[in-house]
Structure 1
């Protein structure tokens, strides 16, 4: 066992690197990192921040240890970091990761560490590696290894080490090895002698990189599959550590893990939101949330099938999960079904299942997708074109434990606004997440500026709980229904490609609710909502009919499946009168154009285009709870095509469910201006 540990340490050292300035004459070292996939280095963002915050495209160098067969100095650049505010004095653990790309990534041969696929690991002994300043002028930096223990998970993306572990300067960003599982489980963040010992960021926090995480981990898994043979491989040493009974096919071996992760890495299409966790829950027969950060890649589901001491479940559990993945990918269609990736996965599952005790085979051969994992499909129309089938994320209903971020905005007596944010997780707990602290409120022009940071934090929490982007409900007076909330962005400035640059309605289901309905329901509202919810497909009703003024009968005479559609703003003129009548007669769903009728009170040709588009959207909506996500998908396509003249660009949606009422006020206290 000791030899296996020693050899693993050698493999980690070979992949550990240090960062240097681009100028070879400058000997200063910035910190440590480690190679995780061909051409990819993982480190802490704070290691690079002092040198790259003003120029993230700046080139620098990466070098390993000559004594441990590390790479010679090669140029590199920052690919992306998670930190949101590069000028902040303190980088939160959840944001303190960075991925670095070697510039000649295809021409440098190097080792890669084995990264754990588990989000939750038992506490225990750890080995920390990194570079520190040395005493030899000819070799100013040397490898350092610390034998320590972690004793607590300090929040969802932070690990604390036991006291009295001294970390020298320079080792931040280095790998943390778990000698029991034989995997790198964290990135060293800091050390504090005599206090908490130090801390680290678990590698599961990498999931926040989204698509980039999936790409890098796929390359990681494929590299280890190519280098699995031989005495010096990670696989060989992990088999020594595990010490499994030879030939027992009912146990899940490290070789099984390497093969299955290779096959999952070949599935190029990403999992639907929340699917990985739901498939793992089916295997575990457990509906409780299983991991944080939420799983976003197929390999993450593999990491959910371990016991409390880090030991893998029996082989049949992993084969069950892999079969469910195969079924879901086949159900979704996409390129994986045409490239042979699914066929190869199926063939291996079948062959491996034959080696398992026969009475367990039905768990794989008779596997069925859980309802919540099977994608709801349908075709939506954009203009005259039919879009391909897509997954539709249903809107949460009453009693469902799904987190929705609710922003309540109320005008104060002297024209300023008060706001508060809640995370409605279906539990009935109405606790305020954040709110306006100034008793005089905030000016209209500064509302979004004030909301950006708390909204971002609320979304991070809600997304983690859901496993997919949380919906956003904005509660406003009807007179403010034309506020373009779906165009809000959470970052005034962000890197290109950062999701903070996306308009809110592109990434999330954004709906409006009526502030006047806060804390109450009524029979007409509940009756009509229940009727719409059970009606199935929806129908668009032009309201008021062309050339007419709005009348109450226009709304009371509508059938259960009819949805009012206004081609004019809802906050003024005839549109405001129509919206007031819709609310008074119990309508909980409506569509309108926040900038319609810009030139004239009478309908024009663009009104016909708008109503045709809305009718097509509602006609393709199989149930009311699909509407917010179908509209979001159209917004996403508009954003990608940058078509600002599209009929749906200025659409707002009222989605006001009386089964999930907005709690009664008060929103807060305020004073009159001096």
Structure 2
């Protein structure tokens, strides 16, 4: 028994030693570059660690001159980064999260270590920076960054590289424990006082084998307390923190950095990824390895999530994570913003519950990503969402039947739109009546009937609208799905009702439906396979470099058919006349006959008489929406138009200056790739009032 216990203890120690080697391989020193031919003594500034290929995370205050200026921001001013083996490579400060607060106090003063501590160090927030290596470092290692929002509560170690002046310079570590948090920063009790040069090094959760924070400042003389920054503070990273002239990570740097990190680790687990033991190899044998969500599950999923397009709504990740936890309305601090963040809050003491939450989250994320991909016509993104769903479904096969059934309820093919149709019926007494139907749309002309207005005599239009409003909010709530982006509302109308302001219909809590979702109108006469002119016009429109408004009426007259037919590839007809009758109805009909799939008009359009001053304002605003200026790179794209219009309507309600004009704007949006369903009974055609 003693021999078995000794063997187990040696095995545990071997794993911790392997973890130490992984951390040390990725921990770097930060200092000035040596002079020509390596001449000159270079003072060490601090530590850092590689988090993705070519990217080093450290503390912002490490990169401050004695006069308060940031290091690595002047012309050709570069930073020395000491990598494994003692080689010094060139680097450049690329992102500085702490702003001007990191300039005081100075990091060094006349060669005397004045490394800050409380209270001055507490004011540097968030005390983080990213350095980009300017030289290749073949086969360099990267740490594993925790995906948890929490902080280590068990065994933890501080790592770093000592000051280069120290005779024993090199990797250094000490164990510590969490004793508290203050102003979003961690207070650690270290068993030994950290040496100079450790600031910016990794704080490692040794029980789980992951980096949980960045060492911020060593203690005062005689004190063992150390400050650290939790890794979750890195979520604050934005393009605003970029240092001009330095390499960058694009418009969403935090998301981009974590994708690089996750893909790097996933590649190391694949055949041919290298013969060295990986972080996952070590993590899966540590005492705290997950019993439900396995370490390799996490590696694979983070790789799949890294391939998904970013969530299309900032609050979407939190809503889906809350739904996966069955805690609607829950929020997190710091806010969750990436798919990686969302799955990282789903750890639980009960392994079975944790795995269910994890898989439920993945299925919901896959469903939302699939819907977004269909809306955007993105076939590659659709395949990526399907890969994530297939992995989650396969992993669920290991669960009990009751758990599989529960997960099956989470996976829904979420509709991308809700369609309301008003179909004219035959009538004898001269009073037009309509049938109405509410359907769920799944893209590509796939529709499912949800609610049908049942009255053999049909409904007058206003009555039909009243019935639709009573039932619509229930359908919309279900179509939005758990945590999903609101489905678009599409309203198919006959010609005489094209001016219907469906975006003003009331949804739940007496709120206009157009404030919470995109709302468009469609031509109820366009059913089934698209007309060649319609399809060709759509292709020209979506392929155009920029959209151009085509003003169809001016001074009380409308363009001739040949002028409408001759519209440019990016032309979008715009009409200020009333489209319910008269010349406005005729003009709208000509535009549809010419194949136009997108057009803009007013629900409060004026009769066929001379345009008033507000018409010029209306046309100027639409021009600014579609094509901001002749010199701009381009305005809104066709597929972005419905959502952009919703944003403008919200601005109008919030009384933003100059936004009132949008209240009456109606958007015709007829995608021939998603045609209206054919009716089961033959359509009854009536004489057209618009001269088609």
Does the 8 Å contact 2:174/2:190 carry over to 1? no
1:241 is paired with a residue whose SS is: coil
Change (3 A) 1:243 1:338: same
Could you tell me how far apart the structure 2 residues matched to 1:367 and 1:218 are? 26
Tell me: CA distance 1:165–1:651, structure 2 relative to 1, closer, same or farther (3 Å).
Answer: farther
Secondary structure class of the residue paired with 2:286: helix
Matching residue of 1:350: 393
Q: Structure 1 residues 631, 529: CA separation in 2 closer, same or farther (over 3 Å shift)?
A: closer
Matched residues in 1 for 2:507 and 2:378: separation? 40
Residue 629 of structure 1: which of 647, 651, 671 is its match?
647
| CA positional deviation for 1:2 | 2.4
> Which digits, 9 at most, give the CA deviation of each residue in 1:510-550, with x for residues without a partner?
xxxxxxxxxxxxxxxxxx999995554599xxxxxxxxxxx
Q: Using a 3 Å threshold, how does the CA distance of structure 1 residues 237 and 628 change in structure 2: closer, same or farther?
A: same
Check 1:159–1:330 CA distance in 2 against 1; reply closer, same or farther (3 A cut). Answer: same
The corresponding residue for 1:117 is 147
Hey, what's the Cα distance between the residues in 2 that align with 1:5 and 1:175?
16
Aligned to 1:254: 295
1:101 to 114, 132, 136: 132
C-alpha separation in 2, matches of 1:114 and 1:352: 23
In the alignment, does 2:52 pair up with 1:61? Answer: no
Match of 2:197 in 1: 170
Q: Secondary structure of the equivalent of 1:292?
A: coil
Instruction: Please tell me whether Structure 1 or Structure 2 has the larger radius of gyration of its CA atoms.
Output: 2
Within the candidate set 232, 236, 240, 2:285 is matched to: 240
Shift of 1:352: 1.6
- Among candidates 410, 426, 429, match of residue 367 of structure 1: 410
Q: Residues 125 and 537 from structure 1, CA distance in 2 versus in 1: closer, same or farther, beyond 3 angstroms?
A: closer
Aligned residues: 420
Q: Return the TM-score normalized by structure 2.
A: 0.53
2:672 is aligned to none
Report what 1:341 is aligned to. 384
Q: Cα offset for 1:30?
A: 1.5
| Aligned mates of 1:346, 1:303 — CA distance in 2 | 18
- Cα contact 2:262–2:306 (8 A) shared by 1: yes
Q: Per-residue displacement from partner, 1:250-300 (whole Å, max 9, x unpaired)?
A: x21101010011100111334521111111111111135353211111011
Q: Distance in 1 between matches of 2:371 and 2:647?
A: 20
SS of match in other structure, 2:391: helix
Deviation at 1:233, TM superposition (A): 1.2
Q: Is the 8 A contact 1:269 1:336 kept in 2?
A: no
- Name the counterpart of 1:152: 180
Partner residue in 2 for 1:227: 268
For 2:80 and 2:88, the matched residues in 1 are separated by 6
CA drift of 1:109 comes to 2.1
In the TM superposition, residue 342 of structure 1 has moved relative to its aligned partner by 1.6
Match of residue 18, structure 1, among 15, 18, 29: 29
Contact 2:514/2:646, CA 8 A, preserved across alignment: no
Within 2, Cα distance between the matches of 1:376 and 1:19?
53
Aligned ranges 1:365-444 → 2 under 5 Å: 365-367=408-410
Question: Given that residues 63 and 72 in structure 2 are in contact (C-alpha distance below 8 angstroms), is that contact kept between their aligned partners in structure 1?
Answer: no
Distance 1:9 1:274, change over 3 A: same
Give the 3 Å change call, closer, same or farther, for CA 14–347 of structure 1 in structure 2. Answer: same
Equivalent residue, structure 2, for 1:324: 364
1:81 to 96, 115, 121: 96
Query: Using the alignment, how far apart are the partners of 2:152 and 2:661 within structure 1?
Result: 46
Query: Is the 1:20–1:61 contact (alpha carbons within 8 Å) kept by the matching residues of 2?
Result: yes
Correspondence 1:185 to 2:204? no
Q: What is the aligned partner in structure 2 of residue 276 from structure 1?
A: 317
Match of 1:208 in 2: 236
Contact 1:17 1:65 in 2 (8 A): yes
Q: Distance in 2 between matches of 1:291 and 1:284?
A: 13
8 Å CA contact 1:267–1:336 kept in 2: the answer is no
What is the CA–CA distance in structure 2 between the aligned matches of 1:281 and 1:348, rounded to whole Å? Answer: 21
RMSD: 4.5
1:314 shift after superposition: 3.4
Q: Which residue of 2 aligns with 1:31?
A: 46
- Which residue of the partner structure matches residue 4 of structure 1? 15
Conservation of the 8 A alpha-carbon contact between 1:19 and 1:62: yes
1:167-205 CA-to-partner distances (Å, cap 9, x unmatched) read: 221100000100111100000001224457011011111
From 609, 613, 619, give the equivalent of 1:609.
Answer: 619
Secondary structure, counterpart of 1:224 in structure 2: helix
Mapped partners of 1:298, 1:336: distance in 2: 19
Deviation of 1:240 (Å): 0.8
Aligned twin of 1:314: 354
1:163 deviation in Å? 6.7
**Unpaired segments ≥5 residues, structure 1:** 379-466, 468-527, 540-601, 635-647, 656-674
Deviations 1:383-431 (A, max 9, x none): xxxxxxxxxxxxxxxxxxxxxxxxxxxxxxxxxxxxxxxxxxxxxxxxx
Alignment check: 8 A CA contact 2:26 2:143 kept: yes
Q: Decide whether the 8 Å contact of 2:43 with 2:165 is kept in 1.
A: no
The correspondence for 2:226, drawn from 198, 207, 212, is: 198
Classify the secondary structure of the residue corresponding to 2:277: coil
Q: How far off is 1:302 after superposition?
A: 1.2
- State the alpha-carbon separation in 1 of the partners of residues 179 and 336 from structure 2: 24
In 2, Cα distance between the equivalents of 1:136 and 1:171?
12
How far apart in 1 are the matches of 2:199 and 2:625? Answer: 57
Does the aligned pair in 1 maintain the 2:152–2:178 contact within 8 Å? no
**CA drift at 1:143:** 1.7
How far, CA to CA, are the matches of 2:660 and 2:174 in structure 1?
57
Match of 1:42 among 34, 57, 71: 57
Normalised by the size of structure 1, how large is the TM-score?
0.54
Q: Distance in 2 between matches of 1:144 and 1:531?
A: 60
- In structure 2, the CA distance between the partners of 1:224 and 1:608, relative to structure 1 (3 Å rule), is closer
Q: Is the CA contact 1:130–1:173 (under 8 Å) kept in the aligned structure 2?
A: yes
Following the alignment from structure 2 to structure 1, what is the Cα–Cα distance between the partners of residues 625 and 181? Answer: 51
Inter-CA distance 163–28: structure 2 relative to 1 (3 Å threshold): closer
Question: What's the CA shift for 1:317?
Answer: 2.1
Contact 1:18 1:31 in 2 (8 A): yes
Mapped to 2, the partners of 1:52 and 1:134 lie a distance apart of 21
Assess, with a 3 A threshold, how the Cα gap between structure 1 residues 3 and 533 changes in structure 2: closer, same or farther. same
- Give the conservation status (yes or no) of the 8 Å contact 1:228–1:234: no
- Displacement, 1:650? 6.7
1:611 Cα deviation (Å)?
6.4
Q: What secondary structure is seen at the aligned counterpart in 2 of 1:112?
A: coil
